Amino acid sequence: MTAGIHNFTARRADTAATLVVLSLDGIALALPQHEIAALEPILDVQSLANRKAKAAGSLTIGERPCPVYALGSELNCLPKIPQSYRVCAILNNDSSRGREAFALACIEIRFVPRAAVATHELPRAMVKQKTPIKSLLVHGEQLLFATNVNALFTHITRIDADIIPFDERSRKLRQ
Amino acid sequence: MSGSAAWLMDFGGGVLAAMSVTHVLHVLEDMSLVHRVPLAPAHCNRVLVWQQQLLPVVDLAQLKAPELTAALSQPGRAYACVLGWRIANDATEYGVLLTRSLPRRIVIADDSMVAPSASEASTWQGSALSFFSYHGRTAPIIDPAPLFGLPPPSRDAIAPQGRHL
């Protein structure tokens, strides 16, 4: 599977001819097609014993572990992959920066021609630095959140950084 | 006695305000067109798909009285009021406010204008054009632009009806 993972390219979502729509719990993310390396069935995902990890599971890609994240409706990391999530998208992370591939579990994956969506900027009142959402896309009656691998990786890493183990939090409160 | 026509809006959580009749374009009962946006600020975490545009939806109760329950999480109906206001170059900017009931058309008499308390002035700083007395309560007449993170319109672009409205 590793051989199938492409090198990361800096092409932007708004220039990609095809978008890949990842359906999550009540929301849908749209990424440029070239940022998806492969799809894997959820059955191949192994649960992680370490409950402190943000990854809900792990895949073995070319003999290397690939963390699998399950995001919820607020783009929060879920500790377990929900039963409705049936497929994993392996994302082309920026290997030139030494970043490992990672995967997102989702309910379903669809391909949508770029021409079939209307792109809207994130309204000014909603703009926050800490969001991986780059723009809003309307496809039929569905709202899609445009993002990219870099932004998702940064978001997930940040969530990791924000997590303080319970015992450490208690220790800080006692000080 | 002269006055100005306005829409009185109940935003839930005890938040009441009026807006110029020229700013309110449409009221929608169908909330299925309102979509939630993850990681957006609590007072503006929804958008409305309206006439091929995507409009930010502001929950004023969440913004002005966050300690109280936000409009959409309260039991009962919510309405999406589509607003429009002029900006520079004759362009129009749009946004949506969530209300707990249908806006009510009222006339604000000139002699009902009052000075706000320090707390009211602080709560509505930057978004109130003036204040009036309504059934013993002080309510603001609001300018929509600042609620949506936009600069207020220039004097030339303010809706022509009414003095402050």
Mean pLDDT of B43-51: 92
Task: Output the pTM of the full model.
Answer: 0.81
**What are phi and psi for residue B23, nearest 5 degrees?**
-85, -25
User: In this prediction, what percent of chain A has a pLDDT beyond 90?
Assistant: 58
Residues of A in contact with B45 (CB under 8 A): 126
- pLDDT above 60 (res B71): no
Digit-coded pLDDT (tens) for B81-129: 999 998 877 889 999 999 999 999 999 999 999 999 999 999 898 899 9
Residues of A in contact with B47 (CB under 8 A): 123, 126, 136, 143
Q: Which residue has the higher pLDDT, A67 or A63?
A: A67
What pLDDT is attached to residue A100? Answer: 78
Rounded Cα gap, residues A20 and A23, in angstroms: 10
Q: Which residue has the higher pLDDT, A23 or B151?
A: A23
What pLDDT is attached to residue A101? Answer: 86
Q: How far is CA B59 from the centre of its chain?
A: 9
Looking at CA atoms only, how far is residue B29 from chain A in angstroms?
A: 17
CB contact under 8 A, A136 and B38: no
Residues of B in contact with A128 (CB under 8 A): 39-41
Residues of A in contact with B41 (CB under 8 A): 125-126, 128
Digit-coded pLDDT (tens) for A73-127: 999 999 899 999 999 999 988 766 667 789 999 999 999 999 999 999 999 888 8
CA angle in degrees (0–180, nearest 5) for A159-A148-A94: 85
Describe the strand order of the beta sheet including B46-50 as a list of residue ranges: B24-28, B79-86, B92-99, B53-58, B46-50, B34-36
Rounded Cα gap, residues B103 and B8, in angstroms: 5
HSE-CB for B77 with a 13 A CA cutoff: 11
Which chain A residue shows the shortest CA-CA distance from B33?
A141
ipTM: 0.79
Residues of B near A (Cβ–Cβ under 8 Å) read: 33, 35-41, 44-45, 47, 49, 52-56, 58, 95, 147-150
- pLDDT above 70 (res A171): no
